[in-house]
Structure 1
């Protein structure tokens, strides 16, 4: 999908749909703001000496039982490829944020675990990211935040329903998706 960052490009996207298309407009705005937030988080993570993905990997590890995981499980939880997690694990291990252990049950397998330096890095970075989230949501009431979460859940659920369909799928006609 396109990332509509510039207001002129966003307006062009709106104009592509005669009579306007509110759902497209909302998605364009959603893509735009999430892209900008992600870009800023990546920039700020680099100021801490990690990529945003590496920070997330450390956070995911910290939430695991025993702060340990296989790289494939870590990749699945983060929604990234095994190749991406492999290079992340190498980098995080070289920088001393995680430890890597051979899997005693599988000679080809490994586990990675968070160590003190990794926990320290999370502790160092968390205040910024928690502060960012707090600031972004500071103008919303608790009720509005709950409603926003509900809306996002609806979008996620709808996306799960349609993500397997291709553009030429016969189940899609015009603006309607048809069930089997």
Structure 2
């Protein structure tokens, strides 16, 4: 993911506004700041997960499997839930299987049908990561109080509903 580390200031955006008069400088600054923080959060999460020999994609697959009552799901459902292509999911599953964190279960009647199961080793990996993750997440979010947290959730929900403008 490309990270914009040098966000433009108001003077630079005013220069752009002279060329593109429809620019709302405050909206652009808010958007870029949000995008920058989201990018830094993603990098920070990857750095944290790397300590456990994981990256976000593989970690999310393990979490999605743990959410299932039977700890079993299909590759296509996992791809849909995580917002990646089936080919990308296959690559994630290949790596997890090599490490013994998941197991592929082939349907005896229809060999084309495969289910993915979280293994005991996969659950142990999550049991190792999650307490530290939740503790760090608590520390990160402790800088905002309950009311600010609700405002944040409301604002993010509004932005999410408005994302169709990029379609």
Task: Report the TM-score range of the alignment, normalised by the length of the smaller protein.
Answer: 0.7 to 0.9
Query: Partner of 2:104: helix, strand, or coil?
Result: strand
CA distance in 2, matches of 1:130, 1:105: 42
Off by >3 Å, runs of 4+ in structure 1: 12-15, 17-20, 103-106
Which residues in structure 2 correspond to 1:87-166 (within 5 Å)? Answer: 87-104=91-108, 106-159=110-163, 161-164=164-167
Question: Structure 1 regions of 5+ residues with no counterpart?
Answer: 165-180
Q: How many residues align?
A: 161
Verify: 1:10 aligned to 2:8, yes or no. Answer: yes
TM-aligned CA deviation for residue 35 of structure 1: 0.8
Once the two structures are overlaid, the 10-residue window that deviates more, 28-37 or 123-132, is 123-132
Post-superposition offset of 1:28: 0.4
Q: Unaligned regions of 5+ residues in structure 2, if any? A: none
Match of 1:42 in 2: 46
**1:75 corresponds to 2:66:** no
Distance of aligned partners of 1:100 and 1:163 in 2 relative to their CA distance in 1, 3 Å threshold = same
Alignment partner of 1:24 is 2:44: no
What corresponds to 1:178 in structure 2?
A: none
Alpha-carbon distance in 1 for matches of 2:149, 2:105: 41
Give the superposed CA RMSD: 2.1
Higher relative contact order (CA 8 A, sep 6+): 2
Q: 1:53 to 1:22 in 2, by over 3 A?
A: same
Question: Structure 2 length as normaliser, TM-score?
Answer: 0.86
When normalised by structure 1's length, the TM-score is: 0.80
